[in-house]
Amino acid sequence: MAEVVLFHHAQGLTPGIVALAEELRAAGHTVHTPDLFEGRTFGSLDEGMRYVEQVGYGEITERGVRAAEPLSQDSVYVGISLGVLPAQKLAQTRAGARGALLVDACIPVAEFGAAWPGHVPVQVHAKEADPFFAEDVDAARALVSGSADAELFLYPGDEHLFADDSLPSYDPEAAKLLTRRAIEFLESR
């Protein structure tokens, strides 16, 4: 089974992210959930983003990188929205990375290096009309077209953070399909 590092979104390590980690653990995987916000959670995406802007995107990314340092290099990195920053950086740059699951976001590959490493499989999951993902869809399509082992899954709807069952944006049907696909992905790592 896979060793997984799951990075939360801009509202913090919410009960919904903890529940998602538990689903992956129930499937037999070891899942780590670093808290990039040092115990803070936020009631809205706007509040969380204000905190992120105060701390800085670079610092949030580096908190994720530092949190992964003592963990196995042979990990699959999972990021939900903001959490895609450290997940994608680690998948692209850390030796031994076994895969990446990027949910609700995708960063242009050039941000963390010249190309996506060919030996690292990746899946990108998002809602097709998510206004936040609209700025990332081109990066996701470029990533998928440039890598032999990459998939882009677009779900109907416009909800951001659709896999977090503790938020109003939760979409049970899409989250269930995402979780099934994630577990299948992890089983092959």
Instruction: Give the residue, 155 or 1, on which the prediction is more confident.
Output: 155
Residue with tokens 């941000």: 111
Rounded distance, CA 75 to CA 68, Å?
Answer: 9
% of the chain at pLDDT higher than 90: 95
Angle at 17 between CA 154 and CA 146, to 5 degrees: 35
pLDDT for position 189: 82
3-51 pLDDT, tens digit each? 999 999 999 999 999 999 999 999 999 999 999 999 999 999 999 999 9
Q: Lowest mean pLDDT of 11-15, 57-61, 116-120, name the range.
A: 116-120
pLDDT tier for residue 114 given thresholds of 50, 70 and 90: confident
pLDDT for position 147: 82
Rounded distance, CA 167 to CA 146, Å?
Answer: 34
Which domains, and CATH codes, for the chain? 3-187 (3.40.50.1820)
Rounded distance, CA 40 to CA 11, Å?
Answer: 8
End-to-end CA distance of the chain: 7
pLDDT tier for residue 146 given thresholds of 50, 70 and 90: confident
Say whether pTM exceeds 0.95: yes
